[in-house]
Amino acid sequence: KQEVTQIPAALSVPEGENLVLNCSFTDSAIYNLQWFRQDPGKGLTSLLLIQSSQREQTSGRLNASLDKSSGRSTLYIAASQPGDSATYLCAVARGTGNQFYFGTGTSLTVIP
C-alpha cells in the first residue's frame, strides 16, 4: 500500500520568506503527483500536477519537483505572503484510474 508522508506537519514563517514543503512516498511506481492547498472547512484547490515523466512544474511563485527514484517531492514557495496560509497536501496516483493517496498535510502560517 502506498504511504505518503509530509514533513513538517506545521510551519510558521514571517512574510517574504522562501520555504520548502516536503512529501515522501513509499512506492515509486506512481503515475503522477499533485499538490493542493486547503483552506479551513473548504475543498481542495489544485496547485501543480507533475506527471511521472516530469521532474518539475512551475506556476507563479510555486515550484514543485519530483524525484521518483527517491520517492520525494518538494513544493517551493517563493516570497511567502499571508494569503499563502493554508494546509498543503500532496497526493500520488498509481495503479489504474485516478485513485490518489494523500499525505497528512503541512499547515502553513505566514505571519505579516
Partner 1 sequence: KAGVTQTPRYLIKTRGQQVTLSCSPISGHRSVSWYQQTPGQGLQFLFEYFSETQRNKGNFPGRFSGRQFSNSRSEMNVSTLELGDSALYLCASSLSTFNEQFFGPGTRLTVL
Point out which residues bind partner 1 (CB under 8 A). 31-32, 34, 36, 41-46, 49, 51, 89, 91, 93, 95-105
Nearer to partner 1 (CB atom), residue 18 or residue 46:
46
Nearer to partner 1 (CB atom), residue 41 or residue 112:
41
DSSP output for 36-56:
EEE-TTS-EEEEEEEETT-SE
Residue 39 CA to residue 24 CA, distance in Å, equals: 22
Nearer to partner 1 (CB atom), residue 71 or residue 103:
103
- Is residue 37 a contact partner of residue 44, using CB atoms and an 8 Å limit? yes
